[in-house]
Structure 1
């Protein structure tokens, strides 16, 4: 029997699919990020849960994965759910999926609501290509570094953020990506107080300074296509490297964002450094 990843509603219980209900009712074991929330949701859906319902969250993933993998290998049907949306997408689940794959056990999915897709669809920003960046680092320096690496990302970007950090994050985004870069802050999606605020990053940061509540998803428009010269790309690599990032890592990131080859950019940086360190022989002794 397989591991089943079952997507839970992100707000409105009516979004639960028929298959989601069937998977809960037919499971031998249900592993839930929060068992109390699961029992409340099951009650709202009129679903009777199996006898064995266990917790599976970031604090017990390591120890509980082995236990649940044993259940799968014995032929039990294990259903994994998180508080909202798809398990393993910025939520517990990846470790369990990887363990099942390594043990050659079947993994399947009961798809459902996704805050990422809902936010992209509502943002009004281009949806033909987008990337999911999850939660940004909490430390300001690391957050700035990640955003600098995304400066030239042309795809629409999707982020999750906690309400108490949203204002600070939007301020850093405005500083690193551009005050007028178009974005949307989506909060409480599918819930009673759903709200989508659209505008430039600086404008949104000013709005968020007053305080924002609820589950937050940020959608940021991609960078406009620009032609970055090799000389400018080298200058960007040197600037980032001076701030402490490893040279090869910086070259890889800047190469991706500017379209230059990684090796060509790395060689150009070394050549520039060699030229800068070479004694000036144009002057007479």
Structure 2
């Protein structure tokens, strides 16, 4: 039975996670909701009918197409349904709505209608990949599907390039090789995991560096939908090392200026300062050239 406190409140939107592959990955609560709601908003009604048929749940006239191409046009209708007391389940083809899937408009409609929004938790490809990856799970940042062009990708990744966290992305099989290559160019050869076909027959987790995974993908080919998990914690160590090096150069530059004031030649001052502070002599020489 649906929660009594929600039923007494009239209309309600249930945001429902559905299986990402294995149809047994359902909760008893999800099945209760799908049996008892008045309407089921579906990304693809054909996919949802398969789930309902598996658990002998009648669909009748309850299934309503609700996806990225028509959800904006259905918002006003949905607000009216919720205000009239309809109990509505929101599902997508697989996983959790709104996470790189349609659903934002349905939640906005529920807020406008002033009805409860109730999550029905369940499968999520990004969380499944993260916890099985073997990479640190905290903190992590979910970035969804990256842009398709190289220049757009660089701009997309820029805010996260130096973030010491695990980055998680989705990618299609025909673009995943490019993604691995671009990530290596932008981040360096980080530890990463390619997760594919999670919960399905050919589920696999490939572990290695970005370059190693790119080579393996070239050898074995790309099949299925991918979750790419990258450990970007080296970014913090690199930033710290860069800051330490810059601090040494600043000290060395001041040392060169002091020695030259004492009468040493530029070349000799650079030699002594670079030896004393452990910085590259040629770079110190160029940084202290006077115009």
TM bracket (short chain) = 0.7 to 0.9
Contact 2:172 2:225 in 1 (8 A): yes
**Matching residue within 175, 184, 187 for 1:174:** 184
TM-score, scaled to structure 2: 0.76
1:9 paired with 2:19, answer: yes
Contact 2:133 2:205 in 1 (8 A): yes
Looking at structure 1, the residues matched to 111 and 177 of structure 2 have their Cα atoms a distance apart, in angstroms, of: 40
Looking at structure 1, the residues matched to 75 and 42 of structure 2 have their Cα atoms a distance apart, in angstroms, of: 12
Give, in angstroms, the shift of residue 148 of structure 1.
3.4
Q: Deviations over 1:191-225 (max 9, x none)?
A: 11100001000111122234211121110002322
1:184 paired with 2:193, answer: yes
Contact 2:80 2:113 in 1 (8 A): no
Equivalence map 1:156-171=2 (5 Å): 156-171=166-181
Give, in angstroms, the shift of residue 50 of structure 1.
4.5
Give, in angstroms, the shift of residue 230 of structure 1.
11
Deviates more, 1:26-35 or 1:144-153: 144-153
In the alignment, what sits opposite 2:203? 194
Contact 1:171 1:201 in 2 (8 A): yes
Give, in angstroms, the shift of residue 149 of structure 1.
2.9
1:59 paired with 2:69, answer: yes
In the alignment, what sits opposite 2:114? 104
Looking at structure 1, the residues matched to 26 and 138 of structure 2 have their Cα atoms a distance apart, in angstroms, of: 27
TM-score, scaled to structure 1: 0.77
**Matching residue within 127, 149, 167 for 1:139:** 149
Mark the CA change 1:230 to 1:142 in structure 2 (over 3 Å): closer, same or farther: farther
Give, in angstroms, the shift of residue 125 of structure 1.
0.2
1:152 paired with 2:162, answer: yes
Paired residues, number: 233
Give, in angstroms, the shift of residue 47 of structure 1.
1.7
1:44 paired with 2:54, answer: yes
Looking at structure 1, the residues matched to 82 and 144 of structure 2 have their Cα atoms a distance apart, in angstroms, of: 29
Larger radius of gyration: 2
In the alignment, what sits opposite 1:87? 97
Looking at structure 1, the residues matched to 182 and 227 of structure 2 have their Cα atoms a distance apart, in angstroms, of: 16
SS in 2 for 1:164: coil
In the alignment, what sits opposite 1:208? 217
Looking at structure 2, the residues matched to 64 and 213 of structure 1 have their Cα atoms a distance apart, in angstroms, of: 35
Looking at structure 1, the residues matched to 74 and 171 of structure 2 have their Cα atoms a distance apart, in angstroms, of: 27
Q: CA RMSD in A?
A: 1.8
Give, in angstroms, the shift of residue 129 of structure 1.
1.5
Contact 2:44 2:67 in 1 (8 A): yes
Mark the CA change 1:223 to 1:146 in structure 2 (over 3 Å): closer, same or farther: farther
Unmatched 5+ stretches in structure 2: 1-10, 247-289
